[in-house]
Amino acid sequence: MKLNQLPQELLLQIAEDLQSQQDINILCQVSRDLYHILNRQLYLYNIRYHNSNLLQWAALHGSVGVVQTALNYNADVNTTAPISGTKLPNRFASQFCRDLRFELQRDLSNKAGGPLQFSLARGAAPPLALAAGAGYKDVARCLLQNGATADRTGVTGMTPLMMAAQGGHTDVVELLLQNGADFSLRRHGQSRTALELAAEQGHASVLEILLQYGADPNQPSADPALTIAADKGHVHVVQMLLDYGANIQVKSSSGMTALINATDGDHVDVVRLLLQRGQDLESDDFQGVTLLMHAVRLGAVKVSKLLLHLGAEVNGTDENSRTPLWWAVDRRDMDIIHMLIENGAHRAPEDSA
């Protein structure tokens, strides 16, 4: 007698006696008839012995059907079961960034619907966080409709909203906000909010949605959104934050303003914008180092040229009597040295390197 000719009750008993999910899955693939008979058993086995981690698999692959079927069998919608054995879709190519992994789409199979950017917590995370990070709105909606907690985190402390904001998934961000996600939360009570994560990545559309829902651009932080965006050179994000009332004078925990961060990074468009919005051309840090000195000592040629064009003091000194030219000579940066001299810089005896 062929396997698929056995009574259904006996087939179910065989499946129940199998000791691994993989064995049941192999049995399901023998024929279409066996699949229809035993597929339910495969779901139930996963729910019972693997803490419903098939939901994580479905979230990673954008499979609404698997999610809904698992939930129909009472899978734990908020499970944070480990998914170490779950393979990522082939179209994703990964690179690591601190405690997040970003999957940038390389869809060689030309399949539609894959995320352009994928944010995945390296530790165990609930299905909603994984779907949000991947940008699968339909999966996220299904999970929310079936009781997923909007702010549930895994071991990394990343909420679904943080994941979606980091990945630049505007539609998922809005869905989560509509379902009560808290935009003020930080990972493990510290680190960055969803707004700051979006600012860091330059996701202006995500930033705008968060601001429209009431996210505070001036929420106290070690790294405020404005200084982060300026440091990364995201001029449109900087402009949007200022338009929504961000304090242009805000400083990071290291004492850096947005203007100094942009200067240090040679982000000339951001520097120009901040100066147009009222920042002082001759502003300095706690050591008396002016913008021009910051630009010169880091080799920021474009910003140095802009500052000189706008009339920055070329012979100003810091608290140690060092001039911009002193810094340029110290760096042996001939392009900037010539630029400074052409704009009236002179070397005092104490400026010698």
pLDDT digits (tens, 9 = 90+) for 146-175: 999 999 998 778 899 999 999 899 999 999
Position 142 scores a pLDDT of 98
Q: Which residues of the chain are modeled with pLDDT < 70?
A: 1-39, 83-123, 189, 286, 347-353
Per-residue pLDDT at 151: 96
pLDDT tens-place string over residues 196-207:
999 999 999 999
Q: What share of the chain is helix, strand, coil (3-state, %, to 5)?
A: 50, 5, 45
| pTM, two decimal places | 0.82
Both structure tokens of 300: 């920021």
Task: Find tokens 């419903």 and name the residue.
Answer: 52
Domains of the chain: 216-279 (1.25.40.20), 284-348 (1.25.40.20)
Task: Tell me if 342 sits within 8 A of 324, measured CB to CB.
Answer: no
The predicted pLDDT at position 208 comes to: 98
Q: Which residues contact 122 (CB under 8 A, 6 or more apart)?
A: 96, 99, 100, 101, 156
